[in-house]
């Protein structure tokens, strides 16, 4: 299983390896996706599904997907790194799904686009330093 | 282990045999049930809630299956029940889309469903395992007609971009060859005494015979071209009648290609208990279940209520909401107790007055992203051209699968299939696209499995991206082991006057059965609390 999956994917291997939740009415394992290298790639193929292409988020039933455009919580790069690794409320964790370089790239992309102009870049080593003690595996 | 002492305690099997001999099979079944076998989920019967103090009020938040079932059972027991629902419909994630329906998602994209009359797609739940006895019980009680859902069909396609030249192969071909080659290796290993250390002589004989039968091996224990394998994987020319009726056998794939294809993962997929036959679907669309529940409790439900706050104290529960049917005016509902089924991504952002443990649990469970595609074609080409009647084709492309309708077989005119069902990365990617882009990708990928007909026969389609659904902000709960250990009990435990229900508060997550079982557990707790014993 594992070796078979390795031949397919560069970007999201651990997710594939853990497959779909064993007890859920789900599709099976996730199919492979294109390698996502740049921060913009990660944003377009992952983040914008909730935070929207313009990063302005969206408002639902008394709840929202927060805007990343002009969000003061992005002032410290460590905060978005933490949220991406661990998840937050309804947002899934991406530790073990995106690698450190992908996370650093997308944080840097978001912090320098959508009206954000932060100049201090996050490095993959910064992301590694924030890894949770245990990488969550979906049941 | 030595056997110096005679066994005094009978094995479970011996015991059952004795009971069977002495008391007949009815007693055997009862004994098996009591010992924890021969049953499905832990549903046995609806709880009996007796002795309700007249006038005790319960407020239920959310009119999905968990909310409506809570309302139904609580009213039956004698509680005074009121249900507030955000949407302008009841049913929650139990939903079907038909021609004329409109889907508006976060971000503003709106799709109008163009299906022909009678056709539908189930964007949420779409199949019911036979052992989900709670849900099946209420389907029966509420008069919801069920029919078989075809999960496994040996004539569907399995496709990997990197195997068999990128061409799809039939499930039966892959299945027969994988089983055949595996059986051959094992049978020959036994014959060549490679397993003598691990397997006793008697067991070797059984195993060898089993492998020969299971794998359709010849007398020399080989799997290859011939009547045995073609009887499993299919023929080049099928058996016919008359003088030229003799079949032509098909040639199995090369063993190394079968093994490296990875497609055997789809053989295992249908074998897990959740997917085992018999599976069911409601006649006419999954939302027939929601409608069946709604028939029981519609008079208790107020639609278009956007809950913003849940407060409680020693005297009761107060829920604040915007009445969206009346310009969003702020209203307050009061009760003695509250069953809250609001999806966690929404609930985690509301003003909810609960203890720290429940608060943390509500924050700890994200929801998976999922996308489904419903595509209508001018004719049922999968049946007419390819003899595929229900079941699922799998692919390693993003769409992951194509599922053919389990109803309306052999009918003429347009048919709707599930043209993609995605979780994880593919779902994020598709959800981030416009509906038109999703359709184009689904067609381009589906075309690989059905090259002749997919574009030609396509009529219209709709996509449903769960992460862009305003009232759930995701598809269903996503637990991991640590979160279960730390937060599950707190999530399910009644917090003063408030108790949560929904698939997220169960070990049957992402299934309707989870909603049913959690609702029964929640109202049982609530009743004990109201009786002063919980």
- Residue A75: give its domain's CATH number: 1.10.760.10
Q: What is the pLDDT of residues A92-117, one digit of tens each?
A: 999 999 999 999 999 999 999 999 99
Chain B segment 300-329 residues within 8 A of A by beta carbon are 306-308, 322
Q: What is the pLDDT of residues B120-134, one digit of tens each?
A: 999 999 999 999 999
* Closest residue on chain A to B129 (Cα): A25
Task: Identify the CA nearest to B48 among candidates B82, B20, B84, B78.
Answer: B78
Mean pLDDT score, B141-153: 98
Contact A31 B469 (CB under 8 A): no
Domain that holds residue A103: 35-129
Residue from B349, B425, B465 whose CB has the most chain A CBs within 10 Å, to mutate = B425
Closest Cβ–Cβ partner in B349, B398, B480 for A138? B480
Task: Identify the CA nearest to B425 among candidates A116, A42, A102, A89.
Answer: A42
Contact A137 B480 (CB under 8 A): yes
Residue from B163, B473, B513 whose CB has the most chain A CBs within 10 Å, to mutate = B473
How much is the ipTM here? 0.88
pLDDT-derived band of residue A136, with 50, 70 and 90 as boundaries?
Answer: confident
Residue B21 has pLDDT above 80, yes or no: no
Q: Which two structure tokens, joined as six digits, stand for B500?
A: 């949560």
Which residues on chain A are in Cβ contact (under 8 Å) with B370?
A: 26-27
Mean pLDDT score, B333-360: 98
Q: Which two structure tokens, joined as six digits, stand for A89?
A: 């409320």
CA angle A39, A16, B367 (to 5 degrees): 75
Q: Which two structure tokens, joined as six digits, stand for B43?
A: 């549903």
Contact B367 A31 (CB under 8 A): no
Mean pLDDT in chain A?
81
Mean pLDDT score, B111-117: 98
From B151's Cα to the closest Cα of chain A, the distance in A is 12
Q: How many domains does chain A have?
A: 1
- Using the Cβ of B330 and the Cβ atoms of chain A, whether some distance falls under 8 Å is answered with no
Residue A27 lies in a domain: no
Which residues on chain B are in Cβ contact (under 8 Å) with A90?
A: 343-346, 348, 366-367, 473-474
Question: Which CATH homologous superfamily contains domain B57-88+303-365+479-530?
Answer: FAD/NAD(P)-binding domain (3.50.50.60)
Which residues on chain A are in Cβ contact (under 8 Å) with B422?
A: 27, 30-31
Cβ within 8 Å of residue A25, ≥6 positions away: B125, B126, B127, B274, B510, B511
Which residues on chain A are in Cβ contact (under 8 Å) with B86?
A: 61-62
Mean pLDDT score, B223-236: 98
Which sequence spans correspond to the domains of chain B?
A: 57-88+303-365+479-530, 97-152+277-287+368-468, 170-269
Mean pLDDT score, B255-262: 97
Q: What is the pLDDT of residues B439-474, one digit of tens each?
A: 999 999 999 999 999 999 999 999 999 999 999 999
Angstrom distance (rounded) from CA B381 to CA B104: 30
Helix (H) or strand (E) holding B111: strand B110-112
How much is the pTM? 0.90
- The residues facing B312 across adjacent strands are B317
Which residues on chain A are in Cβ contact (under 8 Å) with B478?
A: 21, 92, 138
Q: What is the pLDDT of residues B312-321, one digit of tens each?
A: 999 999 999 9
For B97-152+277-287+368-468, CATH gives 3.90.660.10
* Beta-carbon contacts below 8 Å between A and B: 190
pLDDT-derived band of residue B33, with 50, 70 and 90 as boundaries?
Answer: very low
Residue B375 has pLDDT above 70, yes or no: yes
Closest Cβ–Cβ partner in A23, A30, A62 for B424? A30
Which residues on chain A are in Cβ contact (under 8 Å) with B442?
A: none
Residue A3 has pLDDT above 80, yes or no: no
Residue A9 lies in a domain: no
Q: Which residue has the higher pLDDT, B191 or A28?
A: B191
Q: In terms of DSSP bridges, do strands B80-84 and B301-302 run parallel, antiparallel, or are they unpaired?
A: parallel
Angstrom distance (rounded) from CA A66 to CA A87: 13
Residue B80 Cα distances to A59, A70, B303, angstroms: 33, 47, 18
Topology (CATH) of B170-269: de novo design (two linked rop proteins) (1.20.1440)
Kindly compute the dihedral angle of the four CA atoms of residues B56, B62, B65, B71, in this order, to the nearest 10 degrees: 10
Which residues on chain B are in Cβ contact (under 8 Å) with A132?
A: none
Which residues on chain A are in Cβ contact (under 8 Å) with B349?
A: 62-64, 89
Angstrom distance (rounded) from CA B382 to CA B319: 51
From B492's Cα to the closest Cα of chain A, the distance in A is 17
Helices then strands, counting H and E runs in chain A, come out as 7, 2
Half-sphere exposure of B534 (CA within 13 A, CB side): 18
> Do B168 and B393 form a contact (C-beta atoms < 8 A)?
yes
Cβ within 8 Å of residue B5, ≥6 positions away: none
Contact B423 A20 (CB under 8 A): yes
Contact A61 B126 (CB under 8 A): no
From B102's Cα to the closest Cα of chain A, the distance in A is 17
pLDDT-derived band of residue B19, with 50, 70 and 90 as boundaries?
Answer: very low
Report the pLDDT value the prediction gives residue A32, as an integer from 0 to 100: 47
Closest Cβ–Cβ partner in B125, B307, B467 for A62? B307
Report the pLDDT value the prediction gives residue A139, as an integer from 0 to 100: 81
Residue B270 has pLDDT above 80, yes or no: yes
Report the pLDDT value the prediction gives residue A27, as an integer from 0 to 100: 52
pLDDT-derived band of residue A24, with 50, 70 and 90 as boundaries?
Answer: low
From B421's Cα to the closest Cα of chain A, the distance in A is 6
Percent of chain B with pLDDT over 90: 91
pLDDT-derived band of residue B9, with 50, 70 and 90 as boundaries?
Answer: very low
Residue A11 lies in a domain: no
Residue A115 lies in a domain: yes
Helix (H) or strand (E) holding A42: helix A39-42
**How buried is residue B314: exposed, middle or buried, by Cβ count under 10 Å (0-12/13-18/19+)?**
exposed
Residue A4 has pLDDT above 70, yes or no: no
Written as one string, the DSSP assignment of B280-324 is: EEETT-THHHHHHHHHHHGGGEE-SEEEEEEEE-SS-EEEEEEEG
Written as one string, the DSSP assignment of B249-271 is: EPPPPPHHHHHHH-TTHHHHHTT
- Using the Cβ of B463 and the Cβ atoms of chain A, whether some distance falls under 8 Å is answered with no
pLDDT-derived band of residue B512, with 50, 70 and 90 as boundaries?
Answer: very high
Mean pLDDT score, B362-366: 97
pLDDT-derived band of residue A26, with 50, 70 and 90 as boundaries?
Answer: low
Mean pLDDT in chain B?
93
pLDDT-derived band of residue A25, with 50, 70 and 90 as boundaries?
Answer: low
Q: What is the pLDDT of residues A73-89, one digit of tens each?
A: 999 999 999 999 999 99
Contact A50 B467 (CB under 8 A): yes
Report CA Rg, chain A: 15
Give the N- to C-terminal CA distance of chain A in Å, as an integer: 17
Report CA Rg, chain B: 27
């Amino acid at each position: 299983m594992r070796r078979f999956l390795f031949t397919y994917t560069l970007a999201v291997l651990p997710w594939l390896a853990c497959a779909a939740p064993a007890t859920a009415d789900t599709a099976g394992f996730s199919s492979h996706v294109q390698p996502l290298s740049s921060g913009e790639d990660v944003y377009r193929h992952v983040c914008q599904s909730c935070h929207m292409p313009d990063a302005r988020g969206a408002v639902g039933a008394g709840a929202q997907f927060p805007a990343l455009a002009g969000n003061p919580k992005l002032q410290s790069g460590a905060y978005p790194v933490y949220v991406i690794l661990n998840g937050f409320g309804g947002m899934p964790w991406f530790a073990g799904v995106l690698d450190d370089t992908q996370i650093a790239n997308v944080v840097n992309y978001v912090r320098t686009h959508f009206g954000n102009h932060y100049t201090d870049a996050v490095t993959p080593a910064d992301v590694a330093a924030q890894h949770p003690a245990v990488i969550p595996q979906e049941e | 282990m030595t056997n110096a002492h005679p066994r005094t305690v009978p094995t479970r099997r011996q015991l059952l045999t004795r009971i069977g001999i002495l008391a007949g099979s009815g007693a055997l079944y009862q004994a098996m049930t009591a010992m924890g076998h021969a049953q499905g989920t832990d549903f046995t019967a609806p709880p009996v809630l007796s002795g309700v103090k007249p006038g005790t009020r319960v407020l239920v938040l959310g009119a999905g299956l968990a909310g409506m079932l809570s309302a139904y059972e609580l009213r039956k027991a004698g509680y005074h029940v009121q249900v507030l629902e955000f949407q302008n419909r009841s049913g929650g994630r139990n939903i079907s889309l038909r021609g004329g329906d409109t889907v508006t998602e976060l971000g503003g994209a709106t799709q109008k469903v163009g299906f022909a009359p009678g056709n539908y797609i189930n964007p949420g739940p779409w199949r019911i395992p036979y052992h989900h006895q709670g849900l099946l019980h209420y389907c029966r009680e509420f008069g919801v007609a069920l029919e078989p859902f075809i999960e496994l069909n040996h004539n569907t396609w399995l496709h990997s971009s990197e195997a068999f030249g990128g061409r799809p192969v039939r499930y039966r071909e892959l299945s027969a060859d994988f089983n055949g080659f595996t059986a051959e290796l094992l049978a020959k290993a036994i014959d060549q005494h490679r397993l003598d250390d691990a397997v006793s002589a008697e067991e070797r004989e059984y195993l060898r015979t089993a492998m020969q039968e299971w794998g359709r091996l010849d007398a020399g224990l080989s799997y290859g071209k011939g009547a045995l394998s073609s009887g499993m994987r299919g023929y080049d020319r099928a058996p016919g009648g008359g003088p030229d009726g003799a079949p032509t056998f098909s040639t199995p794939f090369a063993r190394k290609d079968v093994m490296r294809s990875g497609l055997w993962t789809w053989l295992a997929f249908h074998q897990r208990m959740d997917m085992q036959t018999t599976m069911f679907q409601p006649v006419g669309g999954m939302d027939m279940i929601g409608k069946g529940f709604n028939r029981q409790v519609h008079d208790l439900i107020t639609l278009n209520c956007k809950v913003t706050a849940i407060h409680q104290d020693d005297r009761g529960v107060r829920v604040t909401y915007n009445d969206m049917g009346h310009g969003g005016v702020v209203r307050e509902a009061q009760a003695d107790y509250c069953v809250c089924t609001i999806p966690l991504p929404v609930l985690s952002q509301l003003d909810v007055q609960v203890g720290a443990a429940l608060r943390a649990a509500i924050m700890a469970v994200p929801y998976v992203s999922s996308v489904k595609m419903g595509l209508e074609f001018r004719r049922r080409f999968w049946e007419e051209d390819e003899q595929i009647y229900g079941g699922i084709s799998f692919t390693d492309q993003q769409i992951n699968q194509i599922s053919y309708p389990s109803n309306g077989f052999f009918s003429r005119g347009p048919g709707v299939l599930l043209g993609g069902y995605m979780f994880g990365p593919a779902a994020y990617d598709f959800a981030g696209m416009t509906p038109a882009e999703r359709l184009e990708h689904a067609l381009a990928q589906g075309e690989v499995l059905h090259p002749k007909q997919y574009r030609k026969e396509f009529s219209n389609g709709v996509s449903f991206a769960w992460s862009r659904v305003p009232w759930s902000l995701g598809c269903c709960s996503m637990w991991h082991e640590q979160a279960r250990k730390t937060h599950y009990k707190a999530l399910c435990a009644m917090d003063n006057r408030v108790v949560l229900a929904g698939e997220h508060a169960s070990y049957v997550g992402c299934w309707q059965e989870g909603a049913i079982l959690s609702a029964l557990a929640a109202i049982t707790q609530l009743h004990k609390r109201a009786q002063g014993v919980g």
